Each structure stands twice: as C-alpha cells, then as structure tokens.
Chain A
Amino acid sequence: MTWFAWRQFRIPSWITAAALLAVAVLLAITGHNLVDEWNASGAATCHGDCGGALTTFIQRATTGAEGIAYQLTTVLLYAMPALIGIFWGAPMLARELESGTYRLAWNQSITRTRWLGTKLAVGGAASALSAGLLSWAVTSWGHHLDHARYYRILPVMFGARGIVPIGYALFAFALGVTMGMLIRRTVPAMAATLAIYVAAVASMPLWVRAHLAPAVHGTVPLDLSSIDILSIGQNSVMTVRSGVTPSNAWVLTNNTITPSGKIFTGPADPTHCGDGGPRECIQWLSTLGLREQLTYQPASHFWQLQWIETGIFVAAAALLTAFCFWFIRNRLT
C-alpha cells in the first residue's frame, strides 16, 4: 500500500520538489550577496555599539534582489501550508469518493483503516518535510537579517520562521483531507480548506499568540524624543504615546500613565499646547512626570512561543486525523 500511496503522490511531490529547488537557487544566489553585505557593512566584526553597521546592512539588504527574496519567502512560507492543504490534502479522499475509485481501493485485501493510515502517513510526512525544509532554508538564509532587525518575534515574521510552518503544514494537510472526506467534492473541499486555514492562522497573532507565554510588563519614564502619537481632541483630551519601545519585542500594549498610575488623557494646558506649536507642548509634557507602561513579548520568548504554537497546530492535526479514522470506519457506509 505504501508503494501505491507514493505512486498516487508522485506527480505532486515532483512539482513540490521542483518548486523547492527553484527557491533554493534563489536563496543560494541572494544568500551569497547577503553574506557579502554583512561583512562589508562591518556588522560581522563590530563589538559593542553596532547600531550604525546594522543600519547600513539592513538598508543594503532590504533593497534589490535580497529585499524581494526576503518578502517573497515570507509570503511563500504562509502560502505553502495552504497549497499543501489545497492540493495534497483536499483531493486525497475527495477525488476517490468523487470518481468512485474508493470502491476499487476498499476491496483489495487491506482494510480501509490501513488504506487511510498509509495515505495520511505518506502525505503527512511529505507535508512536514517540505514545510520544514523551506523554513529551515529561509531561516538560515535570513538569520543575519533577522538578527539585525529582530523582526521574527513580530506577528508577520513569526509564522514564517522556525518550526511553526511545520505545524501549519500538518494542520492544513489534515484539514484538507477532512474537508475532502466530509464534502466529497474536490473543488469545494479546496475552497473550504483555504478559508479555514486562513482563519486559523490569522487568529493566532490577532487573539491567541499573545497569551501563549506570560507577557513582560514594564514601566519606564516617557521618552519624548520620539513621539508616535500626540493629539488634542475635544475638551482638551490629550493622547500622547512614545515611539520608543524595546527594539526586539512584540509590543502588545503601550499606555502613557500619570505619576498616580492612571492613563494620561490630559487636559492639555492651552497656554503651552496652543499656538506655540508641538515643541512647547512637548516641553510642558516633560514636566508632568509621565511614564510609559508596556506589555510585550520579548525576542527571548521566540522559541517558547514557537514550540507552543507548533504544538497547538500539531494537536489540531492529530484531532482531525483521529476524526478521519473514526468517520471512514463508521460513517462512510
């Protein structure tokens, strides 16, 4: 049965291998340039204050072919699990049910449980392997850039680095198989798979991920050298927010509070924050003893969050798989 599962899977796996090879070539070419720029900018050899060197490196590395490759691979790492779910998962059972070939397959001398198990094992292994290879290649290709920018803890980069793509891929594959089994038609199953995958992956940074590890709370004096928001509304209600945040963190909340601990809302003093312009107003603000209250996930939580999020998606995939086994034994009759 393993041979046959591979045989049915041959063309999709060739296409995937070819696509991965194309990405590998792109990464090899641009990766060479990235290393050159890393060395040329001085970031490779600097000690202590490397800010200038890193800024130079980031400027060079995010323009031109490397910049395009950086964005493209990020998109690709989110797209790949979706493609796996759509083109590997959804047709796996839907096509058999649609074309009636399950009646041929289920009358050989193997039980349908074993038939499903083999198909899932082959497809699941290929999904995890492909996503793992791509993530590993991109993560190692971009590690200087990720290090220079600390972006990988931020919502968009997080899902395109480390081991999370493997969890996404396994989930998308199991989801596709389940949808195909329930809907019994390939194209609607593909659409349902895509919709649920997008919803599941998008819900992580929106509602879930921030709570997977205890966030760090910090209160620092308000740094007015770089103001993000400064507005005065009706009844002199003021909003002020500093743009100075930990450079390597995913900031969840950022509130400006008064010395007594309340969120600062003004009122604005019309003598300072009137016609005199923002400079005078900021000068006045600096006398109020305002503080910046932050909650954030620091970069040091990256791997902890990666493991937990991967675990969630792998567990979801396992549940879907168990459901498939139950359903194919007890309901598809």
Chain B
Amino acid sequence: MSSPVLQAEHLSKRYGRREALSDCTLSIPPGHVVGLVGPNGAGKTTLLQLAVGLLRPTAGAISVLGGRPASGGPQLAKVGFVAQDAPTYASLSVDDHLRFGAHTNPGWNQQLAADRIAQLGLDLSQKAGKLSGGQRAQLSLTLAIAKSPELLILDEPVASLDPLARREFLQALMGFVADRRASVILSSHLVSDLERVCDFLIVLVASRVRIAGEVENLLATHYRLIGPRRDPADLPPGVDVIEASYTDRQSTLIVRSATPIHDPSFAVELITMEDLVLAYMAQATTSRQPVLETIR
C-alpha cells in the first residue's frame, strides 16, 4: 500500500509547439481524495489522460499504482475513469452499458451496478442519449465504480451539472470512497466543488504544477498577513510571499511559511482552500490576468 497512487517525474506533453503540461514532478500517496484544480486549459485533462494512458508523455515518466498507464488488462482494471463530459453510447440503453462493463471487466460488480442504477431511478431500457447530463454522469460513474478499481479518476465530473445533480454526484462519489477505501483523483475549475470532498490538493496553472500537498498541511502553512504597508522583502527568511495586494496604507499578503509567524505589526489569519488556490493562480499569471470562475 505504500507505493504512490500516481508518480510523475519531469512529465511533459506537447502538441506541436504548444506545451500542454511541462515538467510535472508529483507524487500522490495512496488513500486520498485528490483535487486537481486550475483554470480551463491549464492542463488538467492532459495530466489525467496521461494517468489513464489515453495520452503518452512527450518527455518524462508517469506511473500509476506502480504500473505504466494502460499497459495491459490488469493495469486498466485497477483504474476507473470518467472522462470529461461523461461520454456514453447515445444509441445504446443503460442496460447495454452495464452489460458492456460486465463483458469487459473481470472485476465487475453487477450487484453494485444494479443497486446504483435502481437507486438513481434510471430505466434500464432507456437510451443513454436520452438521459440528462446528471444521469449520464451517474451512469459513467457507475461503470467506473462497478469495475472495482483501486483508483478512480474523474475529469471535470460535475462541470456540466446543475447544483442539485452536482451535490448528488459528489455524495455518490464520497459513498464509494467510504465503502472501498479507494483513492480518487478528480479535477475541477471550481474550488467550491473540491472543498468539501478533497483532502489532497494539486494546483495546476498554465501547464505547471504550482503546489501539491495534503489540504491539512497546506492550510496550516499558509497565512494571510494584514498590516501597515511595507516591502515584503523585509519578511523573515522562510516566509514566501505568494500574493501581495496593497492599498495606500495597508498590505495584504498571502504567504507560505513552515513555521508560525509572530510579527506584531501584522494581523495573522489562516486562509481557506479557495483563498489558497486563488493566490497560486494569481501568482502564476501575473503577466495576464486569467478569467477565473469562483463560487456561484
């Protein structure tokens, strides 16, 4: 159990001259629900597709659960994947999809699949093309879960869902995690989706990993400092400024520091996950301000 769920070393993916992911070095320990967050086009889908073997790296190496992604049946069986927009066969029924899963996965759990479909109230004879976006996402999740994976990877699973479907989907996901003790990696451009479910966070901006770590540790080592205006270079060593904003008289700094900050001239506050993500996104794109979606 000690081998990492995902390990990437200097992983890069280039399309022609465009760098979709550059020099990503990352190690995700097992047993986490990992949130991969970043603006649209940051390289989240590229990273996840590299992890399931839909893409091959241009440079560097990636291993998932100790194996090369999609290197064979056993490796594929260990990883469940729900692709972006939850693709399904529009002309095939819900039942056909379940039978497809049963025929192509040795670890298929028919009981689980049937129970979930019943719980969702889906009609087995309904064509997948006639399902709502939320139902389609749930069907895809059912397929991915019923193959009994050790790792579940979901690419923007709730992006196209309305708030109710979003909540139901995340609840279903958390139910699976609680039952199976499997690891999960899910991506989103919305921090609010991840805040409630993730205990490990990766911030990916402009094709680079900005920070990765357990949420608890991240929140314990990042602070917001508010005080009279001053030059951030004056701060003690070991304190890195992630983001700084100023008014005429006041500085607001988001900093990272391994040790607690005792500076009487600052009011020191702990920050939320959303503040942290936004700070890293802002830092990564100082030259051009990205259009960020925040909480609805």
- Do A and B associate with each other? yes
Chain B minimum-CB-distance residue to A103: B83
A103 to B79, CA, bound (A): 13
Return B98 CB to nearest CB of chain A, in Å. Answer: 11
A7 close to B88 (CB less than 8 A)? no
Interface size on B, residues (CB 8 A): 35
A100 close to B83 (CB less than 8 A)? yes
Given contacts A108-B105, A109-B104, contact A103 B87 (CB under 8 A): yes
A1 at the interface (CB under 8 A from B): yes
Given contacts A111-B72, A333-B56, contact A104 B104 (CB under 8 A): no
Choose among A4, A11, A111 the residue that contacts B100 (Cβ–Cβ < 8 A).
A4
A207 at the interface (CB under 8 A from B): no
Choose among A2, A4, A103, A111 the residue that contacts B81 (Cβ–Cβ < 8 A).
A103
Given contacts A101-B89, A104-B140, contact A111 B99 (CB under 8 A): no
Return A208 CB to nearest CB of chain B, in Å. Answer: 40
Chain A minimum-CB-distance residue to B79: A107
Encode B234-259 as 1/0 by CB contact (under 8 A) with A: 00000000000000000000000000
Residues B132-180 near A (CB distance < 8 A): 140, 143-144, 147
A107 close to B81 (CB less than 8 A)? yes
Choose among B76, B87, B89 the residue that contacts A110 (Cβ–Cβ < 8 A).
B76
B211 at the interface (CB under 8 A from A): no
Return B204 CB to nearest CB of chain A, in Å. Answer: 20
Choose among A101, A110, A333 the residue that contacts B88 (Cβ–Cβ < 8 A).
A101
Interface size range of chain A in the complex: 20 to 34
B214 at the interface (CB under 8 A from A): no
Q: Which of B56, B79, B91, B104 has the most CB of A within 10 A?
A: B104
Residues A99-139 near B (CB distance < 8 A): 99-101, 103-104, 106-112, 114
B85 at the interface (CB under 8 A from A): yes
A3 at the interface (CB under 8 A from B): yes
Chain A minimum-CB-distance residue to B13: A333
Residues B27-85 near A (CB distance < 8 A): 52-56, 70, 72-74, 76-77, 79-81, 83, 85
A8 at the interface (CB under 8 A from B): yes
B83 close to A108 (CB less than 8 A)? no
A103 to B81, CA, bound (A): 9
Q: Which of A1, A11, A106, A108 has the most CB of B within 10 A?
A: A108
A248 to B80, CA, bound (A): 65
A3 to B100, CA, bound (A): 8
B103 at the interface (CB under 8 A from A): yes
By a CB distance below 8 angstroms, the chain A residues around B90 are 99
A108 close to B76 (CB less than 8 A)? yes
- Taking beta carbons and an 8 Å cutoff, which residues of B are in contact with A? 52-56, 70, 72-74, 76-77, 79-81, 83, 85, 87-92, 96, 99-101, 103-107, 140, 143-144, 147
